[in-house]
Structure 1
Amino acid sequence: MYPTAYIDYLIHFHIERDYFECHEVLEEHWKKEELNQRHHYWVTFIQIAVGLYHHRRNNRAGATRMYYKALKGISLYATAIENLGVNVSELSQQLNKQIKLTLTPGSKFEDINLPLHDHNLIKECQNRCKQLGLNWAYISSSTVSQNIIHKHKLRNRQEVIAERDKQLHLRKQKRQ
């Protein structure tokens, strides 16, 4: 059985193409892990989503940087990522193709589908979709609304600002 946050990430990734939400849901899951027991392979999945988010918005430099970081993470955590039901070799090929697209002037953004190889994982995704009233069927970014494409600009940032202020306050307290 896989963590619900990971299943939700996969649904946002494939069904909604909401890469911003992929980042949010998995980062929250990762941060809940004990600091000395955090599984850094989650960061690799976050970097993939952030790379796609930047790429789709035509931030090629940001996308390229994230794709390279994700490739490094795949190299470091290949076994763990395979154990999460993803074909590491195929994923690396897909990210290398994305990098070529970001470096080719005039090229268009293309979605990727994570190469899932575990049928139980796919079944869990299908079941979670049913719970959420969704259909497990991959879509193209061409059908995604501008609200999702530019989500970081349109969301309420009060929580983010409050959390940053809190963390700054905690750091200042530690120094005293």
Structure 2
Amino acid sequence: MYPEAYVQFLVQFHAHRDYFECHEILEEFWKETDPGNRLSLWVGLIQTAVGLYHHRRENFRGAEKIFASAHSILQANTDSLLQLGLDAETLLDKVDQCLTAARHRNMFQDINLPITDPGLTERCRQECDHQQVTWLNASDLTNKQLIHRHILRHHSGREEGRIQQKRNI
């Protein structure tokens, strides 16, 4: 009933708390299903995860900007949110609270997307069991790889390039 990419997004969002990976999963799906539509529901969900990623890293200005955009896009897609088993009004409130928290430089807190479909929740729990992770897990704020994923990925890629260059000499 729901796209597999969406289920994987929800598992990353609620169990791994890997908001960077949430972005990667849904961006690929969005580009396949609704390419170029910057006002797509998928973009709103991607931006919600990216906003949390920035907020958790204390990039408050980046989080503010992304949360404001996410709120606007999600507000324009409330019917689609309902079709994805989400309570649109509650989600909009949560994103607005995240925006306010970032604006006031408040400490990061995870949020849970307001899933209304018990079947979707059960599907996500089953996938968590399969991946051996805990549904509704809290962010591990001591995990530098999780917190700074895009920077560490970029740096490790550069390092791999340097190693390859040395091998070619």
TM-score, normalised with respect to structure 1: 0.81
The answer on 1:141 being equivalent to 2:139 is yes
Residue 23 of structure 2 corresponds to which residue in structure 1? Answer: 23
Per the TM alignment, residue 39 of structure 1 is displaced from its structure 2 partner at its CA by 8.4
Letter in 1 for 2:129: K
Paired position in structure 2 for 1:7: 7
1:140, 1:14 → 2: CA distance?
A: 8
- Counterparts of 1:154 and 1:87, CA distance in 2: 35
Query: Is the Cα–Cα contact under 8 Å of residues 82 and 88 in structure 1 kept in the other structure?
Result: yes
In structure 1, distance between residues paired with 2:111 and 2:123? 20
State the match for 2:166 in structure 1.
none
Task: Kindly report which structure 2 residues correspond to 1:1-176, keeping only aligned pairs within 5 A, or say none.
Answer: 1-33=1-33, 35=35, 40-105=40-105, 107-135=106-134, 137-143=135-141, 145-155=143-153, 156-157=156-157
Q: Number of aligned residue pairs: give it.
A: 156
Asked whether the equivalents of residues 145 and 152 of structure 2 are also in contact (C-alpha less than 8 Å), the reply is yes
CA-atom RMSD, angstroms? 2.1
Are the equivalent residues in 2 in contact too, given 1:17–1:144 (CA < 8 A)? no
CA contact (8 A) 1:86 1:115 kept: yes
Q: Does the residue aligned with 2:97 lie in a helix, a strand or coil?
A: helix
Counterparts of 1:18 and 1:71, CA distance in 2: 20
- Whichever residue aligns with residue 119 of structure 2, its letter is N
**1:37 positional shift:** 8.5
Percent identical: 37
- Which ranges in structure 1 are unaligned for 5 or more consecutive residues? 159-176
> In 2, Cα distance between the equivalents of 1:87 and 1:157?
39
Code of the residue aligned with 2:124 in structure 1: it is C
SS in 1 for 2:133: coil
Deviation of 1:134 (Å)? 2.9
Give structure 2 stretches of 5+ with no counterpart: 159-169
